[in-house]
Amino acid sequence: MDPERMVVEALSELVSEPAARRLLQKVTRGHPPSHPEEWAALIEGPLLQELASVLPLRHLTPPLEELVRTLRQASPPLPLPPGSLHDLARVEGVEGILIEGQEPWVRGIAPRSQPLLQATHRILLGGGYRVLWVLAERGQILLAALPQEGWLALVAKRETNTGLLLYHLRGGRE
């Protein structure tokens, strides 16, 4: 997969190929992203902003939307190294962890919520995303795809730092 070539091809439907290459060079500032998820973020952010400044666009074109979806699906899921569930359960504010098909690992998630979480997981993957975050009245839930099949649901207090939770979902690395 060559994301740069794919972006140029998608942009070539709007502008000439040389103009597409210059536009891409401008938004990457000569340092193209190295991961599919970074390419998707570049397309949805700086590239769309640059396109909107020169063309009457407010949203991504269908080819660019499809490319973002493809790139997100090519992104590896969040890695969870061995022992990381213990670390995750100890993060301040975490109230519950549930892994698909298992009993709740920590208090806070009722097993009867598994069908809802399973349906949400299918929607999540269908959109090419790896994490869904929901802020509710009594707390927050992060639903993440696991490296193997399935998902992990994390319930935390409403005031818990979501960035910290995502950091620990990634195994404590950026």
The full set of domain ranges for the chain reads 3-74, 84-169
Q: Model confidence over 24-61: pLDDT tens digits?
A: 999 888 778 777 877 888 898 889 889 999 888 888 89
Q: Model confidence over 109-139: pLDDT tens digits?
A: 555 566 667 677 777 666 667 787 888 777 8
Q: In sequence order, what are the beta bridge partners of 134? A: 141
DSSP 88: H
In sequence order, what are the residues at sequence separation of 6 or more whose Cβ sits closer than 8 angstroms to the Cβ of residue 14? Answer: 20, 51, 55, 61
DSSP 151: E
DSSP 13: T
In sequence order, what are the residues at sequence separation of 6 or more whose Cβ sits closer than 8 angstroms to the Cβ of residue 61? Answer: 10, 13, 14
pTM of the model: 0.48
Q: What angle do CA 4, 12, 55 make, to 5 degrees?
A: 110
Q: Per mean pLDDT, which range of 3-7, 9-13, 84-88, 137-141 is the poorest?
A: 84-88
* Domain 84-169: CATH architecture, name and number where available: 2-Layer Sandwich (3.30)
